Amino acid sequence: MSKFAYMFFKLAYKIRTNGFLLMMAMLTCWLQPHAGTLSDPIFGRDAKDVTVSVLTVYPGKIFYELEGHTMLRVRSSDYDICVNWGVFDFNESDFIYRFVKGETDYMAAAFPTALSLQEYKMSGRRVVEQVLDLDSIQTRTLLSEVALNLLPDNRRYRYNYLYDNCATRPLRFIEAAVGDTLVKADRMSTSTFRQLMSGYHKNYPWYQFGIDLALGSGIDKDITVRDEGFAPVRLKALLDEVYLGDGRKLVKDSHVMIDTPDCGAVLSPTPWYLSPMAVSCAVLLVGLYFVIRSCRRLGVPRVFSSIFYIVCFVAGCLLVFLVYVSSHEATSPNWLLLWLNPLAIIPGVGVWLKNCNRVLVYYHFANFVALLTITLIALFDIQSLNAAFWPLILLDAVLSCQYVATMKWTRTRRF
């Protein structure tokens, strides 16, 4: 890589707001004069002169960094670059909407290794290099596929959180090079996707709360050990266990490039009193207080229940969007729709309307049955629920029972 290209990358890194666009422009400029060499299987070099490594970046403090990051390092006497499949432009138009809808495109890009490492050193993230023991044919095949993927027409791909991300992409290229599946698909994992995520997100309970809300029973199914490689830090451990067909270990050398604690960049745990469970229990206690007070007055807690069900309505609308519109992996089916759905607007508004008692009684009876159903679904491990959901589900059941009982008692008293 030319000195000019390296300086341009360094300048782009310093200009944070438009860094992505400048880097992409530089990558395009770099690819053009190298079109001939990039179409060559090994960038115009003898494969014996090229070393391929997997770089694993340990978790960072931002929520999308909690599983770590994976890059391929390609090094020869002429260049030293990292190929990164985790590039996206947050400033792209409608990024948030397309991310929620599951239509986010990521890109493959090549950066100087020194520049890539500088970023992770500044953020205090540990980086480990695993040097792959590939022969010249395997190296040639790998670099040929990577070079093809880096071309402007090929570098964009539709991101999938579980099956097509910055970790699974390099794994596929390595498997294509060695001509075999590195981690056998018939080896079953002892964990589910949700359980693995919970471990990576243990210091970020609100993030896990959101994942457990948005993702349905698909992340509770049995998975293979290979599927665990969706998380870069887990992929690193899997690669250490791989032997090639001729008995060689895939990883011939491993060393630390940036030495910090494994999770040194991750934020400290959320205080217990600010955790989802603490907040849910507080809402439950407040709700029970209003229920008991309203029972003494032979009524229902209209203000509290209205607020509660309107919040359920908003959450239900989001779930309907994720289940029926979004193409995200595992958002459908989501049995939480039995609890959180747009029908919650009925008690949210109906409690203020005259002559709506019968409709509300029917709703609360059906709602109680739905809550019992989702409890059974959780008990039979069809879909695992976040622990912080249970106080809210209990409160919902209490509100439904209290409304039906109050209306029945009031009607009996009239007669």
Q: What is the pLDDT along the chain (415 residues), one digit of tens a residue?
A: 433 333 334 434 433 334 444 444 444 444 444 433 444 444 555 666 899 999 999 999 988 899 999 999 999 988 899 999 999 877 777 777 887 788 888 999 999 999 999 989 999 999 999 999 999 999 999 999 999 999 999 999 999 999 999 999 999 999 999 987 777 766 899 999 999 999 999 999 999 999 999 999 999 999 999 999 999 999 999 999 999 888 889 999 999 999 988 777 788 899 999 999 999 999 999 999 999 999 888 788 999 999 999 999 999 999 999 999 988 878 999 999 999 999 999 999 999 998 899 999 999 999 999 999 999 999 999 999 999 999 999 999 999 999 999 988 776 655 4
Are 243 and 276 in a shared domain?
no
Are 154 and 9 in a shared domain?
yes
Contact between residue 157 and residue 193 where contact means Cβ atoms under 8 Å apart: no
Are 165 and 301 in a shared domain?
no
Are 306 and 237 in a shared domain?
no
pLDDT at 411: 66
pLDDT at 414: 55
C-alpha 357/C-alpha 303 separation (Å) is 16
pLDDT at 46: 60
Q: How many domains does the chain have?
A: 2
Give the 3-state secondary structure of residue 270: coil
Could you tell me if residue 67 is inside a domain? yes
pLDDT at 412: 60
Could you tell me if residue 198 is inside a domain? no
- End-to-end Cα spacing for the chain: 90
Are 291 and 314 in a shared domain?
yes
Could you tell me if residue 213 is inside a domain? no
Are 289 and 402 in a shared domain?
yes
User: 258, 283, 304 — which closes off a domain?
Assistant: 258
C-alpha 285/C-alpha 282 separation (Å) is 5
User: 258, 284, 301 — which closes off a domain?
Assistant: 258
C-alpha 256/C-alpha 57 separation (Å) is 10
Where in the sequence is the domain holding 67, given as residue range(s)? 3-189+224-258
pTM reported for the whole predicted model:
0.84
Rounded to 5°, the CA angle 165-104-149 comes to: 50
Contact between residue 70 and residue 235 where contact means Cβ atoms under 8 Å apart: yes
* Angstrom distances, CA of residue 352 to CA of 62, 290, 375: 43, 17, 30
Contact between residue 177 and residue 139 where contact means Cβ atoms under 8 Å apart: yes
Handedness of CA 76, 79, 82, 88 (dihedral sign): negative
Task: Give me the sheet containing 127-132, strands edge to edge.
Answer: 156-158, 105-112, 80-87, 69-75, 51-57, 127-132, 251-258
Are 78 and 39 in a shared domain?
yes
Give the 3-state secondary structure of residue 412: helix
Are 154 and 74 in a shared domain?
yes
